[in-house]
Amino acid sequence: MSEVVPASGTVHWIGAGLSTGSGLAVLCEAAERVRLWHRTEERAAEALAGLGLASRAEPRAYTPDALAADLAPGDVVVSMLPAPEHAALLALCVSERAHFACSSYVSDAVLEQVPAAARAGVVVLTEAGLDPGIDHLFAHSLVARAREAVGDGTPASYSLTSYCGGVPAVPNDFRYRFSWAPAGVLNALRSPARYLEDGAETTADRPWEATRRHVVDGETFEVYPNRDSLPFVEQYGLPTAWKPRTFVRGTLRLDGWLRAWDGVFAELRTGDDARIAALAQELAATYPTTDADRDRVVLAVSLDVHGGAGGDWSGGYLLDLVGDERESAMARCVSRPLALGVRHILDGSLPPGLCRAAETGARSQEWLAELAREGVHFTLRVDQ
């Protein structure tokens, strides 16, 4: 591994979609210069004006060639583009010895480039948004607290659940508000989910069919598993002496969502790719997101340990934020932790190669303290 390339002080923020919020303003304070790249320079300028940053960042029209011509060693590229486009951006960063950051899960195409990035002294920061991101911070912190409280060398059993969702602040008939592209929402529902339940590996080919009630702080929601939860048992550092009863990472929706989406599920069961793409466009037109809407983000992560040397232990984090006229809750919760990670690239505290928002319990608690100071509020509950 090479030494990390010193940060130049320039940040290139690529894309100004629904998740671009006050994190960009944070970087305008931390970086020497910030450039916002969007479809056209005019669209970029409009986005900056909407965020109150018209005089603090430079608008640019994005094309890969234009970015390549403007990129210098030590610059930081922040990708807010769809996940399939990250790999190409990372390849450009490695070739130009620029650092890379995004809020998405690590894809195979990104992972393949990590060795070359490490050799080039390039930081590859991933999973540094809300989900993934803050959910990892919560989980690592809880595991570290539980290990300290009950000990990790004696047999115990545990249940860990992590549910996150963006929902309308004022419930509507559809029981949902699109905070990302409808096509992405539908295709996520078409992907099988793998998790642990009653100590056994379980797969839900249609994740919504595994929906159940889940009470958070006295309020009833509906939750279902998504993606593959199993790799996170190791990633979260759970002791091998502890045996999982339940381990599931999933999505949270308002109570009544399953019933309200019955017609959508019927289409998902029978529709081909073309029909699902058309359905996504229909839903976007029927349920548009307007400036008057207020969204709500709820993230609840809980860990319960039974039978350890120190006795039973239970803890949980809850983040419950509502958007305002300045930015959506989703934009705040995605862009703020991402900006925090970029600041750590700028100050040289992240090593070259792959980094996630959370790697250890100690680091997670440091990041959570920083986020709390900067307006991402949450609560911690511990029972022993």
Residue of 184, 139, 174, 172 lying closest to 19 (CA atoms): 184
Q: Output DSSP code: residue 130.
A: B
Give residues with Cβ within 8 angstroms of 199, minimum separation 6. Answer: 243, 244, 245
* DSSP-assigned letters across all residues of 6-40: PP-SEEEEE--STT--HHHHHHHHHSSEEEEEESS
Query: How many other C-beta atoms can be found within 10 angstroms of the C-beta atom of residue 296?
Result: 21
Give CA–CA dist 19/129, Å, rounded: 9
Contact 17, 80 (CB under 8 A): yes
Q: Residue 23 is encoded by which pair of tokens?
A: 């994190």
383 tagged catalytic: no
How distant is the alpha carbon of residue 140 from its chain centre?
A: 15
List 131, 135, 295, 304, catalytic entry = 131
Q: Which two tokens stand for residue 40?
A: 């056209």
- The catalytic residues are 131
